Structure 1
Amino acid sequence: MWQLLINYNNNGGQQVDLIHIEGDQVVLPGFIDCHTHIAFAGSRANDFALRNAGSSYLEIAAAGGGIWSTVSHTRDCDARELVGLTIGRAHLLLKQGITTIEVKSGYGLDVEQELKLLRVIRESDRQIQPDLIPTCLAAHMLPRDFNGSAKDYLHMLAEVLFPALKSERLSNRIDAFIEKAAFQGEDIVAYLQRAKNMGFDLTIHADQFTTSGSQIAVELGAISADHLEASTAFEIELIAQSDTVAVALPAASIGLGCGFTPARKLLDAGACLAIGSDWNPGSAPMGQLLTSATILAAAEKLTNAELLAALTYRAAKALNLSDRGILVKGMRADFSLFNTDNYQDITYYQGSLQPTAVWKNGMEVLSI
């Protein structure tokens, strides 16, 4: 038996509890999922089947699938139902020991629908124990029903959506998908620079299929560059020499059947590596952070220390959060208990060993 002393706020006051942990238990900081898209409606199971049968991304999109399929379903879904869907997925992540969850918009793709999604994320956060960290991904793709160019769309977002985000305090994070099929060049740089000038933190979908996104992320001082499957030695060195966190999303590689983020090379070069689930209905529907992370670890030869760091305090850094991710005095009391006498079992069983209890802000929020 051992003891854990926690100090937390309780209705505005301070309370100290001494928790007795009996039996063979490993206590880990609450995992932090620093990249998800769990606020959505609909399914893309048909896309997955077509992709496995040999159809290309563009062919699937032309047949009515892809991101636009999810946008259509999400737009048609009312806010109350979206809150229920988002809470349900967040609860499944909580059961995995995840106590902080980044959640992106990006399936609205116009001002009102993006605001609807971000309000859904805020309302879901009020009703679920994990912290939901909202990110605006209105620059996910050029919507098919927008009458104008990519430059026009991004200018409209900056002029209309950004001030609304500030006035309603819906998000302090702006994301963009930098890719040939999405946004690139001077247009996206101007959009992101405008966001930075307004005080938003930046994060970038970068180097998933082609390079250039990570260079923009580093040049603009983005908090993180996420994906990086296509990154070469040039991009790896660039990221490693910056303060931008490299976020690997192995579930997307599994879902798309493509190569993993070069995590070993990034770490060896000196980069800060975090790992997210990328839970989304298209490329990463599994929603299993630890399972996908341990598969990446096996493929890229990551140590247990590197893997667990990527799911805790380095993931916190990817969200610009300095108050969680490690169990030390003064940090949030977010942690999970695993029924084992060997912490290595947690990665060894590749996600099948689930927490027996989860604590958030010093309160037990889940017990199995």
Structure 2
Amino acid sequence: MAGLSLKGTLQDEQLTVIEKGGVVVENGEIVAIADYRSLLQKYPDSEIAFIDTPMVLLPGFIDCHTHICYDGTRNRDYAMRIAGKSYLEIARAGGGIWDSVTKTRIADPVTLTENTVARANRHLKEGVTTIEVKSGYGLNMEGELKMLRAIQQAGLHTRATLVSTCLAAHMKPRDYAGTEDEYLQWVLTELLPVLQQEQLSNRVDIFIEETAFSVAAATRFLQGAGRQGFAATVHADQFSAGGAAVAVETGALSADHLEASTEKEIALLANSDTVAVVLPGASLGLGMHYAPARKLLNAGASVAIASDWNPGSAPMGDLLIQAAVMSAAEKLSTAEVLAALTVRAAPALQLKDAGQLVAGYAADMQAYPTGDYRDILYYQGKMKPAMVWKKGEPVL
């Protein structure tokens, strides 16, 4: 996945395929990658792991948007949704985000840690070696700190790399008596300094939507977080447009969702450095259309694909299946999909050594049991990696 443009369209012919390739790894880092015979001559004393069956080696996938730290399910929400109930009807019946907040607030830290480790390890076995994990089901000091500490602890008990993001601005909690501005000011002045003290996260996220936070309030919040040194991502344009413009205006690393983005938002993203992160799992879970990935690429945007693994709208959590199904609907080339899961997802998390198989990068790799890389999407995500390495060490 080296040498590819980070923005715009990609054709499969632009992919570099090394036949009978080899990789030299030292101290968890790629030292060289080339054809096997030339590497054998250059590094004759190396310890060799020889694979003589046809396999396709790729960088480990990067899932740059998940909510895998939570407790409980929202199976009742899902049953109501597929029976025809609306988002508001489900929320009025006690469902929605607040249902997960209630269940996660009463969960003990060990349970949250174990849940996060289990989900991260499942992702890892499916070739996802780096995973962003959001808070946002606490929505008070105790709950948010519990979640972010659990994410930090989980990172010590999984080989996957976990990148934590504070999503205290998921929604204004029902038990908070003040305004949205007052709540966001509390996050800025009370919660974020504690995160810096404990080094729990250097990233924030906010959900901009009619049922969450307004464009004006979110803009002020992101500007305030930026002044404190926090990088930002935005839940943008999921049900109504407006969030993507805020993401671009405030210099956010990414704008995520984008199902409701119009030509205006597509143009703004294409003319910015903000990564457009599309979440097909949410479209599948909610029974709604996909984000306009094809239009975004044609306009010149950088498009990444993430799972949005969460208990409500995207419980499947299978990144490859979601990407493969979306590629058929949105007519995305294999090169565009693989780049969206690797090299183009890396900037959304400010990763400098992941998403490519090149010298100097972490040896995060996965091998699929086929001689043709096109099979990976052809089987629509049912072909899983037969081998996975994290920093050069086999985990599968």
Q: TM-score, normalised by structure 1?
A: 0.96
CA distance in 1: counterparts of 2:291 and 2:22, whole angstroms: 39
Equivalences, count = 362
SS of the residue corresponding to residue 317 of structure 2 reads: coil
Once residues 253 and 52 of structure 2 are traced to their aligned partners in structure 1, the CA distance between those partners, rounded to angstroms, is 40
* 1:11-51 deviation digits (Å, cap 9, x = unpaired): xxxx9754322210110100011100000001111101111
Query: Which of 165, 169, 189 is the matching residue for 1:135?
Result: 165
2:347 and 2:65 mapped to 1: Cα distance?
Answer: 12
- Tell me if 1:301 matches 2:320: no
- Residues 5 and 18, structure 1, Cα contact 8 Å, conserved in 2: no
Task: Report 1:199-210 matches (<5 A).
Answer: 199-210=229-240
Alpha carbons 1:7, 1:16 under 8 Å: kept: no
Q: Secondary structure at the match of 1:317?
A: helix
Look up the match of 1:6: 25
Whether the 8 Å CA contact 1:35–1:277 is kept in 2: the answer is yes
Q: CA deviation at 1:185?
A: 3.0
CA contact (8 A) 1:2 1:22 kept: no
| RMSD (Å) for aligned C-alpha atoms | 1.3
1:1-368 paired onto structure 2 within 5 Å: 2-8=21-27, 18-366=48-396
Unaligned runs of 5+ in 2: 1-19, 30-44
Give the aligned residue type for 1:185.
Answer: V
Q: C-alpha displacement at 1:4, in angstroms?
A: 2.0
SS across alignment from 2:276: strand
Q: Separation in 2 of the partners of 1:9 and 1:22? A: 23
Asked whether the 8 Å contact 2:125–2:395 carries over to 1, the reply is no
Aligned partners of 2:22 and 2:356: how far apart in 1? 17
Q: Deviations over 1:169-203 (max 9, x none)?
A: 10111000000000013222111111111111110
Q: TM-score, structure 2 length as denominator?
A: 0.90
Give the drift of 1:147. 1.6
What CA distance in whole angstroms lies between the structure 1 residues aligned with 2:22 and 2:273? 37
Higher relative contact order (Cα pairs below 8 Å, separated by 6+ residues): 2
User: Is the CA contact 1:34–1:318 (under 8 Å) kept in the aligned structure 2?
Assistant: yes
**2:159, 2:335 → 1: CA distance?**
27
Residue type at the aligned position of 1:279: W
Alignment partners' CA distance in 2, 1:324 and 1:2: 19
Q: CA deviation at 1:292?
A: 0.5
What is the identity, as a one-letter code, of the residue corresponding to 2:291? T
SS of residue paired to 1:5: strand
Letter in 1 for 2:395: V
Q: C-alpha separation between the residues in 1 aligned to 2:380 and 2:94? A: 35
Distance in 2 of aligned mates of 1:25 and 1:249: 28
Q: Mark the CA change 1:5 to 1:177 in structure 2 (over 3 Å): closer, same or farther.
A: same
- Cα shift at 1:9: 5.0
Corresponding residue SS for 1:215: helix
Measure the CA separation in 2 of the matches of 1:145 and 1:235.
34
Contact 1:40 1:85 in 2 (8 A): yes
Aligned partner letter, 1:245: V
SS in 1 for 2:165: strand
Secondary structure at the residue paired with 1:127? coil
Q: Which runs of 5+ in 1 are unaligned?
A: none
Report percent identity of matched pairs: 54
Mean CA deviation greater in 29-38 or 144-153: 144-153
- Residue 328 of structure 2 aligns to a residue in which SS? helix
